[in-house]
Chain A
Amino acid sequence: MLGKAFEGSIDYLQIMDENGNVDKSLVPPDLSDDKIVEMYRNMCFARTLDAKMLSLQREGRAATYAPLVGEEATQIGSAMAMRSNDYFVPNFRQHGVFLVRGYPLENFITYWKGFEDGSRGLKEIKSLDVAVPVGTQMPHAAGLAFAMKYKGADSAVVSYVGDGGTSEGDFYEAMNFAGVYKLPLVIIIENNQWAISVPRKKQTAAETLAQKAIAAGIKGIQVDGNDVIAVYKATKDALANAKDGPTLIECVTYRMSMHTTSDDPTKYRSEEEVNAWKAKDPIKRVKLYLMGKNLWNDELESKMNAEHESAIDAAVEKVEKEFKPDPKSMYKNIYSFMPDVLNNELNDALSENFWKE
């Protein structure tokens, strides 16, 4: 006998196309025009901040930085769909999510200048720490979702992972565990097509990353990751369904800049490819939509840009003027206690006046 053991498919969602045309039948009812303007402002702020951080890094005023430019819709759309009681688990590129969650700009800048002190305040925005090792945040996210379910809390967990991260064991384990225990977990794959220099097609032979949900027996959907409304809707739906189990959302977007400030994308990908994605810019289409509805104009735009720039400049100035790093802090945040070996090192440094001004 030969029969079908399983059949499945993955939906693709796009609500606003590249030219700002919107399929009204799919727009979530709670999404007012005002909220779309707010989305637009958030995306623009994220991009302006991104450019500033890159500048600071090149001047030696910030440490290694992972630009988000091009991925604003995925981050802002999903972040704005989260409820205040939801948790989020980032990798290292979700600057836009941090902004929407209300993370203080000064903390953000301090962190990316290379100081753990910037991580203070994560509890208030219900975020875990930035996770640099690829995929390691996923088991934490599943664990956090397990805790929410165990405590019966009305909170879900939104976790981010890149296309490269989906090839890690951590990703499968977390998704599988969340599926088995029907945990309130939303996994957002920020598929920006490149894992440093490894292209998406080298990650898996599967046609979509979203279909990995099928193997774990959870819901999965692929979304135009440059469409802020589609990302918003998909995240909103997944959160509404979180009580019944996890959802995997693949946001198809593009990393317009380098992986981090330490690599040169012109060495491994073509200009044509980058240019083709420029046409799909996530911010441009929202602007077209808003201008078409007379909700936006050039005057508002320049006023907004000036506000964003001065807010960022003021925060940078404040951090550079007021923040005094404590060299001793490098011994903290390693273990929950201070082992003798580190303690001795610290004492040696202090007795030799190592940090004398």
Chain B
Amino acid sequence: MKEVKFADVGEGITEGHIQKWLVADGDTVKSDQAIVQIETDKAVVNIPAPQSGTIKRIAKEDTDVKVGDTLAFIGTPEEINGVKNAGASAGVSQQAHEGQTAAPAQKAQAAVEQKPAMEKEIIATPAVRKLARDLNVDISKVQGTGPGGRILENDIRAAAAKQSQPKPTPKFSEVLEEQHSEEIERVPLSQTRKAIAKNMEASWTIPRASHMDLINATALWDMVQREKPKAEKLGVKLTVLPFIIKATIEALKENPHFNASYDHETQEIIVKKYYNIGLAAEAQDGLKVIVIKGADKKSIIEIASEIEALHKKILDQTISIDEMRDSTFTITNIGSLGGGYLSVPMINYPDVAILGIHLIRDMPVVDNGMIKVGKVLPFSLSFDHRVVDGAEAVKFGNALIKYLEDPDFLEMLG
């Protein structure tokens, strides 16, 4: 097995940045085939494979590597299987693997670390040393920028200027580490949580507003109870959700700017004439969005069974990326979690809007001047205010109410 290390690819290069892996983990590579693209301060270079074989990537994309760090291993599939996975801390090669295979990398790392300690000798002219004393600078702490690490007059002046500056406010994490080092624990984000964090940060760039209203879902509720046994015979567990999806699509057709994305660069609304309805779903490792593609062309039963199937895949962790993307509008069923009254959902970027539906409760409903007990479904709609305004949100909400309270419409779907 061959260890692929990052070499000095220029003259005096000490580190590089992994721009892109050109092969996947476990790929078979040929000798001299470019495997990874690394940017140094001089050039972007392709690093080739020193021999043919199966590759195990060690260094992570978008991290920095030092000359001598391990980039990958190349060998037979059996040899590669023996290499442990790279640790969570990216780009640090000595953490990347344990046991026997770690030995060369650790050695390299140790050599790199020892070097500065050995070279603690201060190289500076007497004039520079005097300047340091005059300006109250501890010359042993100054990093020289001259040839061979020679400390220059400017280095001393820069160090002095730094000393006189007020110390920057420490980061909150530094304060925590200092005051509660025994009482805190750092938990790395899972891959899913990292993806969620990234999506939420993207979502936060959308200037949004929310609209909220109530739906008298009594007719809808009755309808679902009535149709449930029929659906069960078909092996499908019926809920209100497919009906809400259908009503949403009708409301989207009347208000097409909600089934859209905003193109910030061209300042255009990309109106979508297909209806892929995203549904937020809680998986073991965090929130995921399953997508019912072409939901306008599917029946209630088809939608219900597809939701079930995709949910199962979420639980089995067999869901594919393809089944989770290209939504045109998203619904988050907060009610299914068993609590809450109204919430302000985050838009599923780059959609224009998201509909939050909440727990259906028995609540007083005024009908013809009489108070009755009805099934009430509160909903909230978060929308991109660059694309649509409150007036359109109310129009959308009213359309949704119209369809979900209309027994004829529901009957037609059933």
A41 interface residue per 8 A CB criterion: no
Residue from B11, B42, B43, B48 within 8 A of A59 (CB atoms)? B48
Kindly state whether residue A263 has any CB partner on chain B within 8 Å. yes
Interface majority SS (helix, strand, loop, mixed), chain B: loop
Q: Which residues of A contact B310 (CB under 8 A)?
A: none
- Partner-binding segment picked from A50-58, A134-142, A177-185, A235-243: A50-58
Residues of chain B lying within 8 A (CB to CB) of residue A64: 11
Q: A64–B5 Cα gap in the complex (Å)?
A: 17
The answer to whether A58 touches B43, judged by C-beta atoms less than 8 angstroms apart, is no
Flag whether A60 is at the interface (Cβ < 8 A). yes
User: Which residues between 53 and 89 of chain A lie within 8 Å of chain B, taking CB atoms?
Assistant: 55, 57-61, 64
Query: Which A residues lie within 8 Å of B14 (CB)?
Result: none
- With A51-B32, A52-B32 as given contacts, are A57 and B43 in contact (CB-CB < 8 Å)? no
Docked complex Cα distance between A261 and B44 (Å): 11
Within 8 A of B (CB), among A223-270: 258, 261-264, 266-267
B283 within 8 A of A: no
The docked-state distance in angstroms from the alpha carbon of A58 to that of B5 is 10
Do A57 and B42 form a contact, CB below 8 Å, given A51-B32, A52-B32?
Answer: no
Q: How far is the CA of A346 from the CA of B115 in the complex (A)?
A: 22
Instruction: Report A7-43 CB contacts with B as 1/0, cut-off 8 Å.
Output: 0000000000000000000000000000000000000
Partner of A261, one of B9, B32, B50: B9
Chain A residues near B10 (CB-CB < 8 A): 261-262
Q: Which residues of A contact B47 (CB under 8 A)?
A: 58-59
How far apart are the CA atoms of A266 and B48 in the complex, in Å? 19
Question: Is there contact, CB below 8 Å, between A264 and B8?
Answer: no
Q: Is the Cβ of B32 less than 8 Å from the Cβ of A60?
A: no
In-complex Cβ contact of B45 among A51, A58, A61, A267 (8 A)? A58
Contact with B along A96-111 (1 / 0, CB 8 A): 0000000000000000
Contact of B8 among A52, A60, A258 (CB under 8 A): A60
B43 pairs with A258, CB closer than 8 A:
yes
Q: Take A52-B32, A261-B9 as given contacts and tell me if A59 and B45 are in contact as well, using a CB distance cutoff of 8 Å.
A: no
Give complex CA distance A52, B49 in Å: 11
Q: How far is the CB of A200 from chain B (nearest CB, A)?
A: 22
- Alpha-carbon gap, A59 to B48, bound state (A): 7
Residues in B lying within 8 Å of A, measured CB to CB: 4-11, 32, 42-48, 50
Chosen A-B contacts, 13 in total, with CB atoms closer than 8 Å, are: A55-B32, A57-B7, A58-B45, A58-B47, A58-B48, A60-B5, A60-B6, A64-B11, A262-B10, A262-B11, A262-B42, A264-B43, A264-B45
18 more A-B contacts (CB under 8 A) besides A59-B50, A60-B6, A266-B44?
A: A55-B32, A57-B7, A57-B9, A58-B9, A58-B45, A58-B46, A59-B7, A59-B47, A59-B48, A60-B8, A60-B9, A261-B9, A262-B42, A263-B43, A264-B42, A264-B43, A264-B45, A267-B43
